[in-house]
Amino acid sequence: MAPRSHDPEELFAAATKGERGALARLLSLVERGGEDARIVARLASPHVGKAYVVGITGAPGAGKSTLTSALIGELRKRGARVGVLAIDPSSPYTGGAILGDRVRMQDHTHDDKVYIRSMATRGHLGGLSLATSEAVRLLDATGHDWVIVETVGVGQVEVEIAGKADTSVVVVNPGWGDAVQANKAGLLEIADVFAINKADRDGVESTRRDLQAMIELTEFGESEWKPSISTTVATTGEGVEALLDAVSTHRRHMETVGELTQRREARRREELREIVERRLELRARELCSGAAWERLESRVASGAMDPWSAADEMLRGISA
């Protein structure tokens, strides 16, 4: 094993050759989001665009991790190298998420063509969304043919994260209709493909009809994709090949109408916006701390200085 390097360039070269330890360290740099994350992004950028990114989302307990594990197996049969990001916006720590995922995905832990990583919120939510973009970019640049991004739920952050996928798979279960009534609009907004998982249970057909009715009630443009519906039993692998075919059908549709390019361009635009916002936010935090800030703050607090003049003094060099 090579000596532990902390130089992003060396780490990137090693990760490209398939060294998992180097990739893990790069992903940690990306998660931390400092100057090193920026260097990693610059190293990775020229090498991206080869990976196909699939999002897997749905309610807790829908079987997302098991389905992800089955999809990895199917992709491995086809000879692909696979990277997986398991993201839990509701968990402040990475630990818990890792445990659950590893249990379900342990079939693949000894396969050196599969790389699985858990990511969780660390403080700022915007940070997780941006860190996900960067992690996807890195997995793409280091030779993964497919990147699977697994997230829980359909809150605002989950929708943001789902927006980072080329194809979004929403996992539901038979009889889901009653349970998640309120979330249907959110699910439809992000779904390219629905997977009715645990399809060995009762109620598959009524769930399919329910989804179909919902899709038909939605306005789609002429060339636009209408979400397709697959049925799977992730625990046995039943229907997983067909689900992957459904993803490929969506991919071909997007390539034909030019939407894949559009989606990826929109994603990069969004990422740029996130970076600008994030950096201004960090800058604000920097400005609102330290000795100079405290000095000005005291003068404002005592009334010796008006807050606008103090802000001017802090923001000198920032205003246009």
Secondary structure, 3-state, 158-203: HHHHHCCCCEEEEEECCCHHHHCHHHHHHHHHHCCEEEEECCCCCC
Question: Considering beta carbons, is residue 35 or 224 the nearer one to a second copy?
Answer: 35
29 binds a second copy (CB under 8 A): no
Query: Residues 203-242: x/- map of binding to a second copy (CB under 8 A)?
Result: ----------------------------------------
Of residues 221 and 303, the one with the C-beta less far from a second copy: 303
Mark the segment that binds a second copy (CB under 8 A) among 77-85, 203-211, 242-250, 265-273. 265-273
Residue type at position 93: Y
277 binds a second copy (CB under 8 A): yes
CB of 290 to a second copy, least distance (A): 11
User: What is the b/e burial string over 53-83, where b = at least 16 CB atoms within 10 angstroms of the residue's CB?
Assistant: bbbbbbbeebbbbbbbbbbbbbbbeeebbbb
Between residues 150 and 271, which has the closer beta carbon with respect to a second copy?
Answer: 271
Residue pointed to by tokens 């009630």 = 217
The two three-digit tokens of residue 286, written as one number: 């920097």
Residue of 42, 78, 209, 295 interacting with a second copy (CB under 8 A): 42
CA atoms within 13 A on the CB side of 247: 25
CB of 69 to a second copy, least distance (A): 32
* φ, ψ of residue 208 in degrees (nearest 5): -65, -45
Whole-angstrom distance, CA of residue 250 vs CA of residue 244? 10
Q: Which stretch binds a second copy (CB under 8 A): 3-11, 168-176, 185-193, 274-282?
A: 274-282
Task: Report how far residue 133's alpha carbon sits from residue 31's, in angstroms, rounded to the nearest whole number.
Answer: 10
Alpha carbons 151 and 170: distance in angstroms, whole number: 10
Q: Quick one: which segment of 41-49, 156-164, 196-204, 235-243 binds a second copy (CB under 8 A)?
A: 41-49
Binding site for a second copy (CB under 8 A): 38, 41-42, 45, 48-49, 265-266, 268-269, 271-273, 275-277, 279-281, 283-284, 286-288, 296-297, 300-303, 306-311, 314-315, 317-320
